[in-house]
Amino acid sequence: MKPKKEIRGLIKEVASLGAVLPGSVSKLYNVCGKKGCACKDPVNPVKHGPYNHLSFTIAGKSSSKFIKEDDLPAVLSMQRKFQRLKEICQELPLAYMKLVREDGVEAAKEFGASLAVDFASDTFVSEKRLTHQIRELTKQVDSWRSKAKERTSRINALRSKVKQLTRSRDEWKRRALSDENGGVEKKTTGRA
């Protein structure tokens, strides 16, 4: 394949990758802090889990994050894309080296500059693509807002129920105490 065609293809592929994530996912089991929990059984402990755990290193700093089971397929896909990005980062300099050998340093430099202009005007900032991204982000924001409203109303309903139960408990306590006091007085006056 001609170096210019190869370079153009690799850059288009980078642009089409989308979200990428480094690291690896493992399954972790955990022991909690509760006394008497099955996870602390000395003979046959039953640990909590498994939990999906993403470990990664960026710029020399290691970190980790727990991943929800529902998000695991997307995370694994982003990791495959990251692996492909790393491969492209190895292939792209080799393609530029071929171009330098065939056409010289200045030609490679000019071609790289022209690609930057092409992609800035066509691929990355196309109006259609930006409109689509705005639409998708708006959908996400609307979805988060509706979920937040649902959760807020659920929280308010639960708070109201807690208040009702607290009042009911207090009323039962008050009645029980007044019945105890009243019952003792009746029994003592009944015997005398």
Give the pLDDT confidence of 56-97 residue by residue, as tens digits. Answer: 998 899 999 999 999 999 999 999 999 999 999 999 999 999
158-175 mean pLDDT: 92
Residue 180 has pLDDT above 70, yes or no: yes
- Cα angle: 84, vertex 137, 135; to 5 degrees: 105
Confidence of residue 21 (pLDDT cuts 50, 70, 90): very high
Alpha-carbon torsion 44, 48, 52, 53, what sign?
A: negative
Radius of gyration of the chain from Cα atoms? Answer: 33
Listed range (111-115, 125-129, 130-134) with the worst mean pLDDT: 125-129
What type of residue is 116?
Answer: A
Q: What is the pLDDT of residue 190?
A: 47
Three-state secondary structure call for residue 49? strand
**So where are the chain's domains?**
3-125, 127-192
Q: What is the pLDDT of residue 178?
A: 85
Q: Which two tokens stand for residue 105?
A: 């340093």
The closest alpha carbon to 66, from 54, 79, 49, belongs to 54
